[in-house]
Amino acid sequence: MRQLTEEETKVVFEKLANYIGRNIALLVNNETNPHVFRVQKDRVYYIEEKIAKFATSVARKNLMSVGVCFGKFTKTGKFKLHITSLKYLSEFAKFKIWIKANGEMPFLYGNHVLKAHIGKMSEDIPEHAGVIVYSMNDTPLGFGISAKSTIEARNLQPTNIVLFRQGDIGEYLRDEDTLFT
């Protein structure tokens, strides 16, 4: 495992800022339990600092993973968030959408969120912002990018897309063969 380069850090933090804004500082600058980001085979892991120090004593070829996989770098250098980061994204989320029970299954099968499925949503969500999707009982289900702002979404037809799905907890079953390889 190695530290992120300056360019990699910039790309990762820009992606995270889209979902959690300035709360990135809360991820890294935790006084009681400091955490760091590390890279192993193009995957970015979020690890306790003391565990990251222990992991340096394991050979790279013998180390599969340590910590929570936040995402991976594509071959073009972009960063793609994985569903495994949902716990941390939902904890520090800026914008949220709650979907009704009739919209949960379509979302968990990999579909986008339609206007008819929205139970409530945060105020002032801008267009193309990172949004965390919750069920009506506040269980985080996934995340995505807003297709329309909150104001525009109020005037949409029930069949229009409000949120483009980026990740959902259904991926644990759909992509179980490739999620961690």
**pLDDT-derived band of residue 149, with 50, 70 and 90 as boundaries?**
very high
Task: Walk me through the domains of the chain, giving residue ranges and CATH numbers.
Answer: 2-88 (3.10.450.220), 93-174 (2.30.130.10)
Average pLDDT, the chain: 90
Q: What is the pLDDT of residues 108-143, one digit of tens each?
A: 999 999 999 999 999 999 999 999 999 999 999 999
Location of structure tokens 């980001």: 37
Q: What is the pLDDT of residues 25-37, one digit of tens each?
A: 888 888 888 899 9
Three-state DSSP at 162 gives strand
- pLDDT, residue 181, reads 64
| pTM assigned to the model | 0.88
Q: What is the pLDDT of residues 56-66, one digit of tens each?
A: 888 878 877 78
If one compares 181 and 153, the residue with the highest pLDDT of the two is 153
Location of structure tokens 């071959």: 75
DSSP per-residue letters across 25-94:
HHHH--SSS-EEEEEETTEEEEEEHHHHHHHTTS-GGG----SEEEEEE-TTS-EEE-GGGHHHHHHT-S
